[in-house]
Structure formats: C-alpha cells, structure tokens
Structure 1
Amino acid sequence: METVANAVHLPALDNPNERDAVGAELQTVLQDLIDLSLIGKQLHWSVVGPESHSLHLFLDELVGEWRELADLVAERAVTLGFVPDGQSVAVADGSRVEPVPVRSVAGHAVIWELARRVAGSAERVRERLTPIGAADLVTQDVLVDVVRTLEKQQWLLRSQFGEKV
C-alpha cells in the first residue's frame, strides 16, 4: 500500500501494484546487457585474423554501449525502488544470452556470434515493451532506448564488415 512517506520518495507508476514486476523485468534486461558486455570482452580477447584489429576496436565500442545501457536500466530500477543485482552470480543465473566458446575466433565468426546474441536480446526486450508500458511508460521509454541501440548494433554487425549475417 502506498503511503504519503513512500509516495514522495518513489515515482508514481501508471499501475503502482506492478512496481515489483517492473523491477524484475528491468533486472532481466540488466542481466542480459551485462552478459553481452562480458561476451563482447571475451570475443575481444579471442578474435584472430586479418580484421582482428578493426574488430578489437569495434568490440570495445559495443561493450561500452552495453555497459551504458546496463547503467541506464539499473538506474531506472533504483529510481522505482527496486535494487538491481549485477553481480556475476546473478548474471550467470539469470542471463539468457548464450555463452561463447573459449577459444580463438575468426573475425567473421565473431560477427556471426554477436549478431545472433544481439538480435536475441533485442527481441526479448521488444517483447517486454507493451506489458511494461501498461505499468509504466517511463520504463517503457528506457527499454525503447535499449531496443533502439541493440537494433542499430545489429545493423552495424551486418554491414560494417561487409558480412552477411
């Protein structure tokens, strides 16, 4: 039940009964974004081949964007009164991003591996947009930013290196 004391400290949601559910959805997105950044770094260290230098730099950019998005998502959760968990155990338990093999990976395979994972993450967030919007339009807007960025990254992965993925 909302009281004057906590209503002053927490933003009003379109559906305040769904505050925990919105926080849990943000937690799920956060885990996937953190995992994408970890996978991006793994591939950053593992890429080999003629385009490895370019991909090395590109992966750093992607990892930076995923970390910024994770921060945006976590800060929205905190704003709503939900404490997110971005620790390795929580990410390992909750992420739905498929891990990559730990081995040297050719540049074209790096593009393929990331494109699949970024597309999957974007689709999962996109599926949440309507239900989240019913509870909180501001959180929906945050998730729209996440989808927008992930879909732009999909395009960059397909086009930057001339690969068909």
Structure 2
Amino acid sequence: MESVANSVQLPPLDNPNERAAVGGELQVVMQDLIDLSLIGKQLHWSVVGAAAHGVHLFLDEVVGEWRELADVVAERAVTLGVVPDGQSAAVAAGSRVESVAVRSLADHAVVWELGRRVAAVAERIRKRLGSVGAADLVTQDVLVRVVGMLEKHQWMLRAQLGEKA
C-alpha cells in the first residue's frame, strides 16, 4: 500500500508506524471481502436445486453488501492516508478466502460452502479487533461493523440450512 501520510490533514494516530500497520490490516480485510464477493458471485452462477432461485437471489443481496463493506474498509484506509490495492492480482495474492470448484453445486451445498467462508473471514477480522483498536478506535469500529454484518449473514445462511440459531 502506498502512503500519502505526508499531509497534515490526516487523522492523528499516536505514531506513524501504527498508521502503516492499521492500513495493512485494512488491506487484508478489504481483499478478503472482495474475494468473498467474487466467490459469492461464482456460487450464484453455480447453484442448482429446488431452492436455487431463492439462494440465487440471496447471493445477489449479500454479494452487494460485501462489495459495499469492502468499499467502506478501503475508504477508511484512504482516510488514514494509505492507498489500498483492490486490483485482481493483489486480491488473488493477498486473500485467504478458500476458492470454490467451478461446477454446478446443489443449493444446500452452496449455502454450506459459503457459510464456512463467511465464518472464516469474520473470525479472522475478530482476531484483529484488539490490535487495531489499540492503534485506532475508529478503524476498530469500522471492522466491528464488518464483523456484525458477516455474522448476520452467517445466521441467514444457517437458517437456510434449517440449523438452529
């Protein structure tokens, strides 16, 4: 990530190393969200079965929300003076979201596979909250919002599988 931290109009952080570290954390989260949205779209095209229509529509909804969250995360990085990289090569190199097979998948399998990935992304972000919050509470708040939305999606996916909340 390129830094534009030479401006006096940046939000204050206690030390310049924290700015780069927080920017790096935001980069990782943004890349995971972008990749999650791409995987969601792949599954959107791959779903078959009795509930395919409903899953298809649900995937459109959550993919849009993940793209919006990625934008919020990227804009927080820019606000801190760090330019994020959301290009395909950077996302492919940096994302830790497990890819999916390119084939038709039954509706319940799509929901299960996506649920596992959403849970993994949410868990990785949760693990970052303490260190990010120690450096910048506003960024921590952004990440709390992201985790909250991902956990809501986990609940909605569990509900489609008939699992109890």
Fold match (TM-score > 0.5): yes
Aligned to 1:80: 80
SS at the partner of 1:119?
Answer: helix
Q: In the aligned structure 2, how far is the partner of 1:100 from the partner of 1:36?
A: 11
1:150 equivalenced with 2:150 (yes/no): yes
* Matched ranges for 1:119-158 at <5 A: 119-158=119-158
Give the CA deviation at 1:163: 5.0
Pairs aligned (count): 161
Give how far 1:65 is off.
0.6
What is the Cα deviation at residue 68 of structure 1?
Answer: 0.6
Contact 2:34 2:66 in 1 (8 A): yes
**In structure 2, distance between residues paired with 1:143 and 1:31:** 13
| Cα distance between partner residues in 2 of 1:30 and 1:152 | 18
Cα distance in structure 2, aligned partners of 1:46 and 1:14? 48
Name the CA distance, whole Å, in 2 between partners of 1:15 and 1:152: 35
Provide the rounded CA distance (Å) in 2 between the counterparts of 1:137 and 1:14.
Answer: 12
Q: Tell me the amino acid that sits aligned with residue 19 of structure 2.
A: R
Identity rate, percent: 77
**1:104 to 2:104 alignment:** yes
Unpaired segments ≥5 residues, structure 2? none
Q: TM-score w.r.t. structure 1 length?
A: 0.93
Q: Distance in 2 between matches of 1:123 and 1:86?
A: 21
1:25 maps onto 2:25 in alignment: yes
User: Is 127-136 or 155-164 further displaced after alignment?
Assistant: 155-164
| TM, length-normalised to structure 2 | 0.93
Aligned to 2:43: 43
- Give the secondary structure class of the aligned counterpart of 2:91: helix
Deviations 1:50-77 (A, max 9, x none): 1000000000001011001000000000
CA distance in 2, matches of 1:137, 1:112: 34
Q: Describe how 1:33-72 pairs up with structure 2 within 5 A.
A: 33-72=33-72
Deviation at 1:152, TM superposition (A): 0.5
List gaps (5 residues or longer) in structure 1: none
Amino acid at match of 2:126: R
Q: Distance in 2 between matches of 1:54 and 1:109?
A: 14
Q: Which residue of 1 aligns with 2:9?
A: 9
